[in-house]
Every structure is written in structure tokens, then in C-alpha cells.
A and B are shown apart, each in its own frame.
Chain A
Amino acid sequence: MFSELTVRTENLKENAVVFVSGEIDIYTSQQFKEKLYNAVDNSSGDLTIDCSGLNYIDSMGLGIFVGALKKMRTNNRNIHIANIKDNIKKLFVITGLDKLFIIH
């Protein structure tokens, strides 16, 4: 009944890919933040967040994306968002965040 979230990271040389499945909401956001920030800290190149399994996100999760991007930008690194569902992409567009991230 409660939100479920799975976060898995693969490091490919200097670039990391973070696979997110489930829901990022107020209940799971801290878990997501810890794992995403860990991936940022333990890689040196661009970061890709694969959202093929992501079914729900709101401003709690979007704020974490932005926080991670700020960390990345201190070293001129970018965040790529891959395989995003239409309902999730809509949120990025409405909030203008689609202009900050590289969305594939």
C-alpha cells in the first residue's frame, strides 16, 4: 500500500547510470536522494537517470533532481534523463525543468 521505490546504480567507467523504478514521493524521497547523491559523488562524468520504471514523481522528487544537478554543475557535469514516461515528462515541462536537464 505504501509507495515503493527501487534505485540501482551502474558505474560505466566515469559515467554512472541510475535506474529508478516505482514512485518518488514524500515517503520515498529521502531514499532516492541518498542513492542519487551517492551516484553523483562516486562518478566523475555525466550521469544518466533511467526512468523507464518510474511511475510517479512530484515536486519532492523534482527538487532532488535539481539538487543533484546543482552538485553536478559545480564540475561542469550534466544529468541526462532517459526513457521518461509522458506523464512524468509533463511535470518537467510544466515546471520548466525540461530546460535544465538533457531529456532523451
Chain B
Amino acid sequence: MDMYDKIVLQLPYKAEYVSVARLTTSGVAYRMGFDIDTVEDIKVAVSEVCNRIINVSGNSAGGYEIRYEIGDSRMVITFASDMDRAGCIFEDDEEGLGMSIINAFMDEVEYCPDNKDFILSMTKRIEEKS
């Protein structure tokens, strides 16, 4: 399946900018045609990942990247970080509320792949109207 457009947002490890991630997410999601409830779900899922990244970063210098890839029927959101950190950022949060919310709101989630190019990728499909 082809992904046509890519939007990339780079943010510092600062809590005050997570709202910017939500604004960008809602803009991209509305543009794709997601309904208002789904847009809200995606915004929360994105925030949950941002929260985790910032909490793990300890507000260090540098930042992280959110990549939005848009296809005909799905949006893939990928997070990358310049943190030099061993292990998965969610490894000690398996029972956390954050992961429950991400898993509930997104159709597919890939946590901490062996490929170090990204730390998390999640997908939301547009539901076909009957």
C-alpha cells in the first residue's frame, strides 16, 4: 500500500510542546477525513507517546521527531529520538495507563523494534463507510 505524503515534526524534550504535537496531529487527521471522535483518540495516543519520551529523556538537550505518513486508507505515525538509551522506553511501564490507551485507540502499534530507526510506530485506518 502506497504512502503518499509525509509530515515531520521535530520537538524538544519539553512538556510545553506536547500540545503542539496534538495540534499537528489533529490537523493531519482532519485533513485525512477522520471523524472528530477518532481525531481526539489519535491526539491522546500521540500525547501518551510524547509523555513517555519526555519522562524518559529527563528533559535533556536534543529532541524527538514525529513522522506522519499519509496513505489512501491509513495514517502511520512514527516516533524517533536522539536519546542514547538502551532498552525500550516502555519496558517498565507494561501495566501503565499510557499503553492501555495507545493500544485501545490505535489499530496497530509496534513498540521498540529491533530496528533502531524509530522507537514506536502506530497506525490508524480510516473506516470505510457502508
Contact = CB atoms under 8 A, between A and B. Distances in A.
A27 B20 contact: no
A84 interface: no
Interface residues of A, number: 18
B123 interface: no
Interface in B25-83: 37, 40-41, 43-44, 47-48, 50-51, 54-55
B34 to A, nearest CB: 14
Given A58-B51, A60-B51, A95 B16 contact: no
A67 interface: no
B86 interface: no
B96 interface: yes
Q: Is the interface of A mostly helix, strand, loop or mixed?
A: mixed
B18 A25 contact: yes
Given A1-B20, A63-B97, A27 B15 contact: yes
A102 interface: no
Contacts, number: 56
A3 B14 CA distance: 13
A59 B96 contact: yes
Interface in A81-103: 87, 90-91, 94-95
A71 B43 CA distance: 30
Interface in A4-24: 23
A94 B103 CA distance: 10
A27 to B, nearest CB: 4
Interface of B: 15-20, 22-23, 37, 40-41, 43-44, 47-48, 50-51, 54-55, 96-98, 100-101, 104-105
24 contacts: A2-B17, A23-B19, A25-B18, A25-B19, A26-B15, A26-B18, A26-B47, A27-B15, A56-B43, A56-B44, A58-B44, A58-B98, A59-B101, A62-B97, A63-B97, A87-B37, A90-B41, A91-B44, A91-B101, A94-B100, A94-B105, A95-B97, A95-B100, A95-B101
